[in-house]
Amino acid sequence: MPAEPITPGDALPRGVRLGVDLGDVRIGLATSDPDGLLATPVETVPRDRVAGTPDQATDLARIVDIVRESCAAVVYVGLPRHLSGREGSASASVRTYSDALAQAIAPVPVRLVDERLTTVSAHRALRASGRPGRRHRQVVDQAAAVVILQSAIDAERTAGGRVGEVIELSTRGAETGRGSAGAPDRTGVERTDLMDRTARTSQREAPL
């Protein structure tokens, strides 16, 4: 279900939250309970490196399925930043993927949250749980997603509302009218030109 609007004084809307740790090789997923109290690991999805664009990837299709199966109210995606807070190439990749995800699961919102040191925290949590280091790779992406989501839902309680940077669907609206080659859609322009030519022809043929 889509997230409910939040106004000052309102309690946070109920609904499952989904956390996403987007890696180059794997994607870690975590969900919360409907009350947004505790994040738990769900699944590790292999990245589809054959697909030409994120919206064609099997990994994105799997996330869409999980959003629908869990009736997620909001999706939090970790946004990597440098320790200085600046964004790099990895951030741009996550933004591109998140944009495609937002288009695919609308009206469920996608929000970006800071994931600095998330992987470090995930490895620390795995060591604390007694899991051998050689087995970290199998679950570290899920553990990172748990860290991302738990941080987000803790911040929700502090802020009294949704947190992070929401992905606006309108950011790609200008591209919806483009053809496959990326050229602007001239359908409306060509139709207007045709109407002008028809009008001029009618004027020339009209009897005096």
The pLDDT-based confidence of 89 (bands split at 50, 70, 90) is confident
Q: Do residues 159 and 169 make contact, with C-beta atoms less than 8 angstroms apart?
A: no
pLDDT of residue 171: 45
pLDDT of residue 42: 94
Q: Do residues 55 and 42 make contact, with C-beta atoms less than 8 angstroms apart?
A: no
Return the C-alpha torsion angle 95, 22, 31, 43, nearest 10.
150
| Structure-model confidence comparison of residues 140 and 146, the more confident one | 146
Residues 190, 53: Cα–Cα separation, whole Å: 30
In sequence order, what DSSP letters do the residues of 51-66 get, joined into one string? SSSGGG-HHHHHHHHH
pLDDT of residue 135: 53
pLDDT of residue 153: 93
pLDDT of residue 125: 55
Residue located via tokens 């590790």 = 44
CA dist 62 → 18, 44, 111 (Å):
13, 10, 18
pLDDT of residue 130: 55
3-class secondary-structure state, position 112: strand
pLDDT tens-place string over residues 142-200: 888 999 999 999 999 989 999 999 999 864 443 433 333 333 333 333 333 433 444 44
CA neighbor of 156 nearest in space, from 14, 12, 31: 12
The pLDDT-based confidence of 88 (bands split at 50, 70, 90) is confident
Q: Do residues 12 and 156 make contact, with C-beta atoms less than 8 angstroms apart?
A: yes
Residues 27, 145: Cα–Cα separation, whole Å: 9
| Structure-model confidence comparison of residues 172 and 124, the more confident one | 124
Give the ranges where the chain is alpha helix by DSSP (H): 58-70, 89-105, 118-128, 136-159, 187-205
Q: Rounded to the nearest 10 degrees, what angle do helices 58-70 and 89-105 cross at? A: 50
| Structure-model confidence comparison of residues 108 and 181, the more confident one | 108
pLDDT tens-place string over residues 11-69: 688 899 999 999 899 999 999 999 999 999 999 999 998 988 888 999 999 999 999 99
pLDDT of residue 22: 93
User: What are the residues facing 22 on neighbouring strands?
Assistant: 27
pLDDT tens-place string over residues 113-123: 988 755 545 44
Residues 6+ apart with CB under 8 A from 142: 21, 28, 29, 30, 41, 42, 43, 44
